Structure 1
Amino acid sequence: MTTSATLPVVTPEMQRKTLIGAVAGNLVEFLDFALYGLLASVISRIFFPQDAPLTALLSVLLLYASSFLVRPIGGIVLGLAGDRWGRRTVLMITITGMSVVTGLTALLPTYAQAGTTATVLLVVCRLIQGFFAGGEYATATDYIVENSDQKRRAFRASFSPIGAYIGTVIAVGLYTLLSSWITTAQMEVWGWRVLFAIGFPLGLVGLLIRRKLDESPEFRAVERARLEKDLRPPTMGEVIRSQWKNMLIFISILMSHTLPNYLILGFFATYLTTFVGLAKPDAAIAVLVSQFVLIFSTLLHGYLSDVVGRKRWLMLGCVLVIPAMFFAFTYAEHGTLNSAIIAAVVPVMIFPMVTSGMTISLVDMFPADMRASAGAMAYNTGTALFGGTAPLIGAALIGWSGSAFTLVYYVAAVAIMSFISIGLWFKYSPKTVTHTVGAGNSIPLQQRVESTSKSQ
């Protein structure tokens, strides 16, 4: 529907505003999810009965996973809104919803105060959080790339996950500081409330930033084309019918990013404290250091993906992530702060090789007029299946087998499937897509697909 020749020039100032605005929302989203992961053992004691502690912990991790299962619903609803009303509108909605829910979590009663009512309210908050988060990442990525020029596209798309990692760093940093100042008992009484309450001010700042953003040039071009041709936005059925193959391929690529990412982000601290026996402050420090490294390694791999080529870098990442995760979960068994830091750092230097290519694929693999909806459906479905379940499956596999080897086998199986999918996609992917938008109107839409000699 649009080509680069018809789009307005994107200025450096527009790109700076875009990056700041997009980072703000992903920061709030992952602040919440990182806090929940870090506080999993605390939450298991204050929101669930304690007659079976391991069952309570698994229940918390199951709830963590269930919030991700709502994400595809949020992706469908908010993604369709992004293709109908614009990326900026959805970004305003998501940051407001996520920050309010995170803040409200701080006000919930505990199990000792309200019994199962407290558990139900926690479940409701997690599900609503998952719904709003479902529209954030994919839409923010679309907005970044649609407001960028054609140079270093993977590098600029890498700023979308950077927002998530900054949110994680803030969460881990605050948790570490508070844990060093107060006792475990105080953390269970009021400390966790202070941490979740941070969502209110951060969300307000993010909302004020996003209010100043303009709609992306590509979406404005889509709107003009719809007016000229008297077309309506695509329905969910039209998106699925025309994009289901690309969505499945995207999910198969995504899973080699999201599984190791959430094993380190959402589970590693629990693994260190519950299965290795490391002190909670030390576990938090290890994850904090890894997140700082992850910010820079993601940007580096985004740059290298543009230089080396998408296909090569993605496939190499799928290969290297297997030994990286094996090293992480076995070396951590030494049980010291230094071993925990090294174990947490190694995988975050590797799996961003997949992250950079995966993130730009949210834009490359889907046409502009249904990019937000198709990308959000695919991203959130894959994240729910392989990211949200990662802590639960990780705890269950290690608890069942008594060894981290079973978890590494799971990572290896996922990485092999991604490797095969990437090879097939770059070999057989069409350079253009034709699908129906509106009754009886077939419109050719140009897809940006890597076709340079480096990547092919």
Structure 2
Amino acid sequence: MKLRRKRVRPIALDDVTIIDDARLRKAITAASLGNAMEWFDFGVYGFVAYALGKVFFPGANPGVQMIAALATFSVPFLIRPLGGLFFGRLGDKYGRQKILSVTIIIMSLSTFCIGLIPSYASIGIWAPVLLLLAKMAQGFSVGGEYTGASIFVAEYSPDRKRGFMGSWLDFGSIAGFVLGAGLVVLISTIIGEESFLSWGWRLPFFVALPLGIIGLYLRHALEETPAFQQHVEKLEQGDRDGLREGPKVSFREIATRHWRSLLACVGLVIATNVTYYMLLTYMPSYLSHNLHYPEDHGVLIIIAIMIGMLFVQPVIGLLSDRFGRRPFVIIGSIALLVLAIPAFMLINSNVLGLIFAGLLMLAIVLNCFTGVMASSLPAMFPTHIRYSALASSFNISVLIAGLTPTVAAWLVEASDDLYMPAYYLMVIAAIGLITGITMKETANKPLKGATPAASDIHEAREILQEHHDNIEQKIEDITEEIAKLEERRKNLIQQHPHINE
């Protein structure tokens, strides 16, 4: 039976997607707001952990209270892989926009409900149980949130600006964290610590509901991403029926065919999020509980550090479009490996300026990771499995990273060594370095399974010419390889007595 070879049509100027600036800005705003709300909760939770420990675990000593409150933060990460599998499959089936609208509803409602939970003194053991259930609902929705938002922005962005545009997603994360932490400081300053422990800690969680409503409005008004629309349009009617049934590729097949991408994703997510949670979730508790630094001073330092990160974040994204994503992962990993112990020496000095310098070192390292993560991850997988593969691998990795605050607190308590978090970060730096060295460079390239995307017609012409030049170079390389193989073939034939040309 003779197989028919499918004729591939040359890519023309009409095949290059021109991204509308207004739609792009709306997409980034909508995606970033949802991510900001996710980290708003993390910011609030990290900065009120001491209060939650007293409200929901009143019978334990202060150290155990802190660990218990941070454990309630970490346990929902066990649910995130399930949410990733669930929403990832739906995202590849129904599209990115619809799923992001659902996740922001669940996320805002579950955060709002935390503020409604009575204290342990009122309902006993049901108080921490309800807190855990609310955090698990958060974890389930967040399982599809960040990956969906990063895919949404990546599929809307021009190829040459994907790093810069993607960096605004984690800009939203940091901004949400600053908003959450700042709100905690503002409320506690106005009403006093006693009132804050009594009822004031609830107020920041109530803010999540109006933020969620705004985010839902923005996401609902958006169209589906160009890359996903192209994917659907390319399918024949029979394949469209298959699309409605969901992705036909199993996770096992993804792991077999795309194992390099999966490992790169896991490594980058672990390096980024362990550093993230160590600096922004664990450090407030470390400063107040372990170093006995005044809580309000420690909070203000962290907020100042995070505001500085907001300015660095888009700069890293912009530079990654010029120099690539890999250099920043490698530089950040080496810096974390070398500077982790010096940073904690400064943090433990009990001198305000030195504490700030130590935290700033870790913050700049973190910017190297967050500045490129949102643009790197979606480029690792093709369109038809992008949401499923990325959500699964991302949330398995975050499951490990999410244990950081609890593990760090336990290590310090168990060993009585204030440098345990630094050693922890050095191990993570080694993982990041291996990832940066082995991952493929994706800057300025089309997403897998999608046509090139440009900001305007002039850029589209340049991209098309670069594409044709790349094809010509590949043809020359293949021609050279064929010549080498032909020469080798002749040499082998000459060595065999019964084979003639």
1:242-261 CA-partner distances (Å, limit 9, x unpaired)? 43442122111222211111
8 Å Cα contact 1:243-1:374 kept in structure 2? no
Paired residues for 1:46-65 under 5 Å: 46-65=55-74
Q: Which residue matches 1:356?
A: 371
The separation in 1 between residues aligned to 2:14 and 2:104, in whole angstroms, is 33
* Greater mean alpha carbon deviation, residues 319-328 or residues 268-277: 319-328
**Relative to structure 2, which stretch is displaced further, 11-20 or 324-333?**
324-333
Q: Distance in 2 between matches of 1:257 and 1:51?
A: 32
Match of 1:207 among 216, 225, 233: 216
Verify the 8 A CA contact 1:322 1:415 in the aligned structure 2.
Answer: yes
Contact 1:106 1:197 (C-alpha < 8 Å) held by counterparts: yes
TM-score, scaled to structure 1: 0.90
Q: Summarize deviations over 1:126-153 as a string: whole Å, max 9, x none.
A: 1010110111111101111111111121
Q: 1:162 aligns with which of 161, 168, 171?
A: 171
For residues 353 and 66 of structure 2, what CA distance do their matches in structure 1 show? 26
CA distance in 2, matches of 1:240, 1:222: 22
The answer to whether residue 165 in structure 2 is matched with residue 151 in structure 1 is: no
| Match status 1:370 vs 2:385 | yes
Q: Partners of 1:336 and 1:174 in 2: how far apart?
A: 26
Partner deviation per Cα, 1:37-86 (whole Å, 9 max, x = no partner): 11111111101132433222211111111111211111111111111111
Q: Which residue of 2 aligns with 1:422?
A: 436
Q: State which of 87, 92, 101 in structure 2 corresponds to 1:78.
A: 87
The correspondence for 2:343, drawn from 304, 324, 328, is 328
| CA drift at 1:113 | 0.3
1:110 to 119, 127, 140: 119
Q: Which amino acid aligns with 2:343?
A: A
Aligned-residue identity in percent: 27
Q: 1:297 aligns with which of 305, 308, 312?
A: 312
TM-score (norm 2): 0.82
The equivalent of 1:437 in structure 2 is none
Match of 1:134 in 2: 143
Native 8 Å contact 1:249 1:421 kept in 2: yes
1:287 equivalenced with 2:293 (yes/no): no
Report the alpha carbon displacement of residue 337 of structure 1 after superposing the two structures with TM.
Answer: 4.2
Conserved? CA contact 2:40–2:176, under 8 Å:
yes
**2:404 alignment partner, one of 352, 371, 390:** 390
Moved more, 138-147 or 246-255: 246-255
The equivalent of 2:128 in structure 1 is 119
Matched, 1:99 2:108: yes
> Separation in 2 of the partners of 1:400 and 1:418?
27
- Compute the displacement of 1:91 (Å): 0.9
Q: Is the 8 A contact 2:188 2:196 kept in 1?
A: yes
Does structure 2 conserve the Cα–Cα contact (< 8 Å) formed by 1:293 and 1:349? no
* Equivalent in 405, 409, 412 of residue 426 of structure 2: 412
Letter in 1 for 2:429: A
Cα deviation, residue 332, structure 1: 1.8
Gaps of 5+ in 1: 434-443
**Partner residue, 1:221:** 230
Alignment of 1:183-332 (within 5 A): 183-228=192-237, 230=239, 231-232=242-243, 233-235=246-248, 236-237=250-251, 238-332=253-347
Alignment partner of 1:178 is 2:187? yes
From the superposition, tell whether residues 423 and 185 of structure 1 become closer, same or farther in structure 2 (CA, over 3 Å): same
Q: Tell me how far 1:395 sits from its aligned partner.
A: 0.9
Opposite residue 385 of structure 1, the aligned amino acid is I
Report Cα offsets for 1:85-124 as digits up to 9, x if no partner.
1110111011111111111111101100000011110010
The Cα of 1:357 is off from its aligned counterpart by 3.0
1:272 and 1:340 in contact (8 A); partners too = no
The answer (yes or no) to whether the contact 1:276–1:332 under 8 Å persists in 2 is no
User: Amino acid of the residue matched to residue 134 of structure 1?
Assistant: G
Partners of 1:379 and 1:214 in 2: CA distance: 25
State the 1:445 CA deviation: 4.2
Deviations 1:296-329 (A, max 9, x none): 2121111122222222222111101234433332
- Alpha-carbon distance in structure 1 between the residues aligned to 2:43 and 2:235: 41
Partners of 1:432 and 1:107 in 2: CA distance: 46
Tell me if the contact between 2:305 and 2:359 (Cα under 8 Å) persists in the aligned partners: yes
Structure 2 Cα separation of the partners of residues 352 and 334 of structure 1: 24
Deviates more, 1:102-111 or 1:226-235: 226-235
In 2: Cα distance, 1:51 partner to 1:68 partner:
24
Amino acid in structure 1 at the alignment position of 2:176: G
Deviation track 1:373-427 (CA, whole Å, cap 9, x = no partner) reads 11111222112202x1111111112222223322212211221122123222339
C-alpha spacing 1:51/1:352, structure 2 compared with 1 (3 Å)? closer
Of residues 15, 36, 43, the one that matches 1:27 is 36
CA distance in 1, matches of 2:426, 2:354: 23
CA distance in 2, matches of 1:426, 1:226: 28
AA of the residue aligned to 1:373: S
Taking the aligned partners of 1:50 and 1:165, their CA distance within structure 2 comes to 34
> In 1, are the aligned partners of 2:284 and 2:299 still within 8 Å (CA)?
yes
Q: CA 1:276 to 1:321, structure 2 compared with 1: closer, same or farther past 3 Å? A: same
CA distance in 1, matches of 2:450, 2:99: 24
